[in-house]
Amino acid sequence: MDPSQLVVNISAPELLVLKWKDTYDPSFFELGEMAHLQCLDIGTLVVYGSGKFVYSPDSRILLQCCEAIHKLNLKVVHLSRMVYNQHLSEDMTRLPEVTFLNLVVTALSHSFGACLFNILRMCTSVIKLAIDMSCNYEEECPSDCFCDHPPNWKFKDLILDRLQEVDIINSGGTGHEVAFLERLFSWATALEQITVTFDETITESMAMKEFRQKLLSFSRPEICMRFFVYRGSEKVLYVPEG
């Protein structure tokens, strides 16, 4: 038998957690029923730009292995230099019904709002949302960058009426974060709590204070908002002076 034609059939009906960090090719792997799956971790899945570097369209087949799970982990990656290209997250037509959506956003100074909008419109059952803003550069992207297209995500309505808790981790306090969170506040009508933890490299400054004030201006009285900073290796509650 030709080894290149071998197909690995994976049957794990009692599996609770599936972590798939490499490219998924259905020509070589077949997944059986996983009725008890609770957590799906696909690693790098979504790229806005030229997809040949880190994106495998077949990876989205993994998202069809179950109808509903508790937790879904996705890594959203943008290339440092973009050209006009299809928003590859639009290739996904369905995500499992999830209650906890955990996203790692590698934006490399780009706008990520349109990409997250495409993901959230397929996750309207989410109750908790965590976004890790790690690995984002401080340099501004080029003026001709296509990262914020289509720009109509800023005006579209989205119903996230089950979303109660949002965690923003390793925040850089950027304008792109403000733009996305402003829309998220309007989509999440049942939001009860938002926690922002600034990146370790961010020191207490006027910019941090302004970021906090902008988020508070979008908030509603029933939402509990907390901000944390690092002092050394210790994470402490941020209370601006004055």
**Tokens found for residue 30:** 């077949």
**Tokens found for residue 177:** 């974060």
169 vs 154: CA distance, rounded Å: 22
Q: Which residues pair with 105 in a beta bridge?
A: 76
107 vs 82: CA distance, rounded Å: 11
CB atoms within 10 A of CB 173: 22
188 vs 123: CA distance, rounded Å: 12
Of the candidates 28, 33, 20, 35, the residue with the CA atom closest to the CA atom of residue 74:
20
Give me the tens of pLDDT residue by residue for the chain, a chain 242 residues long.
455 567 777 888 888 998 887 767 777 777 777 888 899 988 666 555 544 444 455 566 777 777 889 999 988 876 655 554 555 555 566 788 999 999 998 766 667 888 888 889 999 999 999 999 875 555 666 666 666 666 677 788 999 999 999 999 999 888 889 999 999 999 999 999 999 999 988 876 777 889 999 999 999 999 999 999 988 889 999 887 76
64 vs 84: CA distance, rounded Å: 29
**Tokens found for residue 80:** 């440092």
CB atoms within 10 A of CB 194: 22
**Tokens found for residue 202:** 């961010």
Please report the domains of the chain, with CATH numbers, ordered by start residue.
Answer: 3-237 (3.80.10)
141: left (phi over 0), alpha (psi -120 to 50) or beta: beta
189 vs 164: CA distance, rounded Å: 9
Q: Report the predicted TM-score, pTM, of the whole model to 2 decimal places.
A: 0.85
Per-residue pLDDT at 136 = 59
Per-residue pLDDT at 55 = 46
C-beta separation of 88 from 55 below 8 A: yes
Per-residue pLDDT at 188 = 97
CA angle 114, 227, 236 (to 5 degrees): 135
124 vs 231: CA distance, rounded Å: 36
- C-alpha distances (whole Å) from 120 to each of 3, 48, 123, 157 are 40, 16, 5, 11
Task: Identify the residue whose tokens are 């933890």.
Answer: 197
